[in-house]
Amino acid sequence: MILATPGPVEIPYFVRETYLRDTIHHRTPEFKEILLDTLNRFKNITKLPYNVFLSSSGTGAMEAAVINTVKNKALTVNAGKFGERWGKICKAHGIEFSEIKYDWDTPALVDDVIAAIKEDDSIDTFFIQISESAGGLRHPVEEIAAEIKLINPDIIVVADGITALGVEDLDTSNIDIVVGGSQKAFMLPPGLSMLGLSDAAVERIGSGRGFYFNLANEIKKQSEGTTAFTPATGLIIALNEVLKKLEDIGLERHYENTAKRHNAMLAAIEAIGLSIFPQNPARSMAAVYSEKAEEIRKILKNKYEINVAGGQDHMKGKLFRINNMGIIEDNKMAYILNSLELALEELGIRKYDATAVKIYSKEK
């Protein structure tokens, strides 16, 4: 079965091989060396001076970012299931927040964010997704962050980069915290989250809040090559290998490959008569609108052994999502797209003529 969901993604063999090694205790010089090396390499991804790993899903890192940074009031952008989550986390902790809400296919507008900040000077932290994977949407985060810093440089900008880190070369010069997750572009099993932090973020965090998710404790401990609590050693060791692999490929080349593959897959999907859902598609996936989304998913899984993700909430049955994160061979993507076209023929939507593969090969 090909796992073509936008997280968890398929785990390459070189990653699986790391789990055949002897287990290393987390309070040893050997693991300290690996942890420090991995944190140092991860800086090339976030381009931020501080980086920490948490043994949790990406949502754990989101929660850590919220409870450790908001002092007065948060402003959140909700354009999907994961943008909505910022508000849910705030509510769970009794943190005051305002929310700017958009349709799932619509990127946030700079003017809307700036207007909200100008109207309420109690806002001290801003939360947004870079890639909102519920609808495959890319927000103009870099532009929004730059404008926020012009208005009030003391506002901490937090970006969920769970389906953006490792996908594209992000400009984090105006972002204070970026969140990542192991099961996306880093091609690992779920269970490890990451945060890149600016000097301003670390200053805001101070002595930190919470117990397990106290970021001040983790920043201090991990800078020394240890952790506040038992870490996910296997995932950190595997991440070390992934980062080395991406460096061997070349990060710039990897990002270019991801972008070219994304453009080619979108062109192929549109060429066989399907519609790309978001107005500004994220490179992490293809989010495709179809009233027969579930029938298409069922055929892909049962006949062609391809598992693609469906829509969520009100988009369930109307959306399916194909992964574009990680290292994906062209022949595998071509097979997925060819199978999609065959599924459309089986449903009587179009006659198969190998258009998807032809367009993908031409554009790639």
Neighbours of 312 (CB within 10 A): 16
What pLDDT score was predicted for residue 305?
Answer: 99
What pLDDT score was predicted for residue 278?
Answer: 98
Q: DSSP assignment of 80-94, as one string? A: SHHHHHHHHHHHHTT
User: Any known ligand binding at 321?
Assistant: yes
Burial 182-208 (b: 16+ CB within 10 A, else e): bbbbbbbbbbbbbbbbbebbbebbeeb
Neighbours of 252 (CB within 10 A): 9
pLDDT tens for the chain, residues 1 to 364: 999 999 999 999 999 999 999 999 999 999 999 999 999 999 999 999 999 999 999 999 999 999 999 999 999 999 999 999 999 999 999 999 999 999 999 999 999 999 999 999 999 999 999 999 999 999 999 999 999 999 999 999 999 999 999 999 999 999 999 999 999 999 999 999 999 999 999 999 999 999 999 999 999 999 999 999 999 999 999 999 999 999 999 999 999 999 999 999 999 999 999 999 999 999 999 999 999 999 999 999 999 999 999 999 999 999 999 999 999 999 999 999 999 999 999 999 999 999 999 999 999 8
> Would you state the structure tokens that stand for residue 302, as one six-digit string?
């049962």
What is the Cα–Cα distance from 264 to 363, expressed in whole angstroms?
Answer: 5
Checking phi first, is residue 91 left (phi over 0); if not, alpha (psi -120 to 50) or beta? alpha
What pLDDT score was predicted for residue 364?
Answer: 86
> Would you state the structure tokens that stand for residue 348, as one six-digit string?
């009587």
The beta strands (E) that lie in 208-310 are given as 275-276, 285-289, 306-307, 309-310
* CA contacts within 13 A on the Cβ side of 245: 17
Which contiguous run of DSSP H or E holds residue 335?
helix 330-346
Residue 281 DSSP label:
B
β pairing state of 97-101 and 156-160:
unpaired
pTM above threshold 0.85 = yes
> Would you state the structure tokens that stand for residue 356, as one six-digit string?
């998807």
Which contiguous run of DSSP H or E holds residue 321?
strand 319-323
337 and 363 Cβ atoms separated by less than 8 Å? no
Q: Catalogue all structural domains in the chain, each as residue range(s) with its CATH number.
A: 13-248 (3.40.640.10), 250-363 (3.90.1150.10)
